[in-house]
Chain A
Amino acid sequence: RKEVEQDPGPFNVPEGATVAFNCTYSNSASQSFFWYRQDCRKEPKLLMSVYSSGNEDGRFTAQLNRASQYISLLIRDSKLSDSATYLCVSWGGGADGLTFGKGTHLIIQP
């Protein structure tokens, strides 16, 4: 069974700090990876795709390590509005869509 594993947290982080999450995936054939953000009682929304070379979007940086089969998300200068659950997601190449991790809960404290 394909699996994506994440530390559920919660991560309690002061505003302005840098925080990093990792997740691991079991399907070595996974082709694409994503981070989704889910606010409380809301739907998941795409935060960013994860590329082999690493990619950055403002304060967010995503990295992929295929050899160790893990994905990371780094958030710099964290804001109160970053408080959410972050879902690590992989796509194995089939039509049956994405495999979601259970999420990491982040709480940014003032």
Chain B
Amino acid sequence: NAGVTQTPKFRVLKTGQSMTLLCAQDMNHEYMYWYRQDPGMGLRLIHYSVGEGTTAKGEVPDGYNVSRLKKQNFLLGLESAAPSQTSVYFCASSYGYTGVQETQYFGPGTRLLVL
């Protein structure tokens, strides 16, 4: 099993450009999450999904959109990138949200630099 994979690993964008980050998991997990991690800020939840076709906002959703058309994939879109979106983006997935099943498995991250 590959676990959770993310594409791309690194990207440089100019302000105003758009891009989509892809997350894929092969563990048949229902729940998927997108986080960003900035120095001194810890991991912050952007959006999450509790199943195919569903999405919900997390702590810092502004400037991002997501889609979960297939159970195994969770896409994060930036329609008009801003320098404030320079960050490391982590995708995660979990089987459920009860007790120890809340253990999340993370992808390797995508480093995004917006100039």
Distance between B1 CB and nearest chain A CB, rounded to angstroms:
15
- Contacts A43-B107, A43-B109, A95-B56 given; does A102 touch B100 at CB 8 Å: no
Chain A residues, Cβ within 8 Å of B45: 96-97
Contact status of A96 and B106, CB under 8 A, knowing A91-B97, A101-B42 = no
A25 and B58 alpha carbons, distance in the complex (Å) = 19
Give chain B interface residues in 89-115, CB to chain A under 8 Å.
90, 92, 94, 97, 99-100, 102-109
**Contacting residue for A97 out of B31, B41, B100, B109, CB 8 A:** B31
Is A95 in contact with B97, judged by CB distance below 8 angstroms?
Answer: yes
Contact B42 A100 (CB under 8 A): yes
* Structural contact, B106 and A44, CB atoms closer than 8 A: yes
B42, A96: Cβ atoms closer than 8 Å: no
Within 8 Å CB of B106, what residues of A? 43-45
State which residues 26-49 of B face A: CB under 8 Å: 31, 33, 40-43, 45, 48
Q: Is B24 an interface residue (CB 8 A)?
A: no
Q: A46 near B: Cβ within 8 Å?
A: yes
Partner of B50, one of A31, A32, A95: A95
Sorting the interface of chain B by its residue count into under 10, 10 to 19, 20 to 34 or 35 or more gives: 20 to 34
Query: Would you call A98 an interface residue if the criterion is a C-beta within 8 Å of the partner chain's C-beta atoms?
Result: yes
Q: Is the pair B43, A100 in contact by a Cβ cutoff of 8 Å? A: yes
Contacts of B43 in A (CB 8 A): 44, 87, 100
- Residues of B at under 8 Å CB distance from A? 31, 33, 40-43, 45, 48, 50, 56, 58, 90, 92, 94, 97, 99-100, 102-109
A-B contact pairs, 28 of them (CB 8 A): A31-B99, A34-B102, A34-B103, A42-B108, A43-B108, A43-B109, A44-B106, A46-B105, A87-B42, A87-B43, A91-B97, A94-B97, A95-B48, A95-B56, A95-B97, A96-B48, A96-B58, A97-B33, A97-B45, A97-B48, A97-B58, A97-B94, A97-B102, A98-B102, A98-B104, A100-B42, A102-B40, A102-B41
